[in-house]
Amino acid sequence: MTILTAIAVIMLCSCGTKQKYNILAADAVEEAELQINEASLNEVEPTERKIIKQGDIRFETVDAKQTKSMILQAVEELGGYIAKDNAYDYSDRIEHRLAVRVPAEKFDLLLIKISENIDRLDGKNIETLDVTEEYIDIEARVKTKKELQNRYRDILRHATKVDEILNIEREMGNLQAEIESIEGRMRFLKDKIAFSSLDVTYYQKTTSKFGFFSKFVDGIKSGWDVFLWFIVGLSYFWVFIIIAIVAVYFFTKRKK
């Protein structure tokens, strides 16, 4: 009887210890989140405004080749680069579209250099975005989650049960995924803040001759294609054509 009682006491103590551990672990994590959030909000202070500059400009030029050379030279001098370079050949003009990126502090200078060489401006739109609040919020969230990750590691070192270890590792995996997602947004913002974007569209009008001979040849080809399609169309109505021929024949014969 004494042995059974001792075993029962040990089992109760073991269950109690496990429950106590789970409660303590949960309390530790919750308390850690509150402390870290409060500390992060108090520690992170804005040192400077985080500004994103971007815009677009569209204009006409008399020499598209020379304009492109001017833009490329200006971008190179300012330490920027061309992100996209597209050209389109329309009936009345040749149009070029460039996506330019330059260091933020050189954005206004690039705009001045391009504007000085414009023959006729069609439109210009410049936008300034203040992302300071979002930037600070992301910094605080990253700091919070990394410190919480360290707390999880401390708890994991003291875990003894397999299910406890698996649960903590699962939570750490979810936490790591969140950290990577937030850091990805942070990298995006840093890139946009460091390098401003300017979409440049310029075009050169072209004068085209009437081209009688080429249009005459095209007309003959098109006329032949229309004739062939006409023959094909008649093939769909051969029954009606036969009926019409027979009807005309009997009508003519009866009239005679």
79: left (phi over 0), alpha (psi -120 to 50) or beta: left
Average pLDDT, stretch 37-66? 78
Model pLDDT, residue 37? 52
For 122, other C-beta atoms within 10 Å of its C-beta total: 12
Q: How confident is the model at residue 30 (pLDDT cuts 50, 70, 90)?
A: low
Q: What is the model's pTM?
A: 0.60
Residue written as token pair 């009926």: 243
Q: What does the alpha-carbon distance between residue 142 and residue 147 come to, in Å, rounded to a whole number?
A: 9
Interacting residues of 94 by C-beta distance below 8 A, sequence separation 6+: 64, 87, 88, 203, 204, 206
Residue written as token pair 């009997």: 250
Residue 20 has pLDDT above 60, yes or no: no
Residue written as token pair 């590792």: 169
Highest average pLDDT, of 43-47, 63-67, 238-242, comes from: 63-67
Domain ranges for the chain, please list them: 18-208, 216-255
Q: What does the alpha-carbon distance between residue 219 and residue 198 come to, in Å, rounded to a whole number?
A: 45
Cα separations in angstroms, 19 against 29, 32, 177: 15, 20, 29
Model pLDDT, residue 198? 96
